[in-house]
Amino acid sequence: MADRAPSAAEVDTALATLGLERAMSWDEMRHAYRRRLRDHHPDVDPNPDATAHTAALTAAWTVVARATSGGTRELRISPDPQTETPATASQAQTPAVRPMTLAAPAGDVFVHLLEAASAMGEVSYMDPEAGLLQLLLDNGDPAGAQLLIAVDRDVTPTAVSFTLDSASAESAPDVTAVVEQLAGHLASIPR
């Protein structure tokens, strides 16, 4: 996970990728994201770019979720750069996000995450080439929560992003607790 809050430019890019507006409510954004994800999911969309498009949507949603602390804060409307004062600029800064680091056994991180995720629920989708793993968490809720894991092997060290959403509840469970549980399962994998 990233160790800093996304910049305004990163948020604007993510919103453009998702087709969202800053003035939308969290529920409106989440609904629009889910709809686009369903429309472009590789299981539904025969387009050969569907996996890459899904990964881009997921990465963009991760930026929006970090910028809003999972919907607990609204996105501010971008101020006009010509009228922005230094005080306004500092107020618009998003507080830093607590970095999370997962220790994984040597080897293919995706395979280890798949093994650890399988201990937490049902793997409903995986694309090793794109580094995408979707997990329906076994938390007693029939509709459950869905954890999307995106592995980026193109950076060193390998970066892993997590998006957690709930199909039935108003808000998803705490992603930190879920990732910590995943870390526990990773730690139990023989090295």
| More confident: 7 or 19 | 19
Q: Cα 39 from chain centroid?
A: 18
Mean pLDDT of the chain: 74
SS3 string of 166-178?
ECCCCCCCCHHHH
Q: What are the residue ranges spanned by the domains of the chain?
A: 8-91, 109-187
- Reported CATH class of domain 8-91: mainly alpha
| Stretch among 17-21, 33-37, 81-85, 168-172 having the lowest mean pLDDT | 81-85
**Rounded Cα–Cα distance for residues 142 and 20 (Å):** 29
Please tell me the predicted confidence (pLDDT) of residue 30: 87
Cis peptide before 142 (omega within 30 of 0): no
pLDDT digits (tens, 9 = 90+) for 139-149: 655 556 788 88
Dihedral of CA atoms 83, 85, 88, 94 in degrees, nearest 10, equals 100
Beginning with the edge strand found earlier in the chain, give each strand of the sheet holding 121-127 in spatial order. 121-127, 132-137, 145-152, 159-166
pLDDT digits (tens, 9 = 90+) for 129-188: 878 888 888 765 555 678 888 887 776 677 787 777 765 555 556 777 888 888 888 888
* Average pLDDT, integer, range 46-56: 81
| Stretch among 30-34, 77-81, 168-172, 181-185 having the lowest mean pLDDT | 77-81
Please tell me the predicted confidence (pLDDT) of residue 1: 40
Residue type, 15: L
Percent of the chain with pLDDT strictly greater than 90 = 0
Residue 190, pLDDT above cutoff 50: yes
DSSP string, 61-111: HHHHHHHTTTTTSPPPPPPPTTT--HHHHHHTPPPPPPP------SS-HHH
User: What predicted TM-score, i.e. pTM, was given to this entire model?
Assistant: 0.50
**Rounded Cα–Cα distance for residues 157 and 96 (Å):** 21
Assigned architecture for domain 109-187: 2-Layer Sandwich (3.30)
Please tell me the predicted confidence (pLDDT) of residue 81: 43
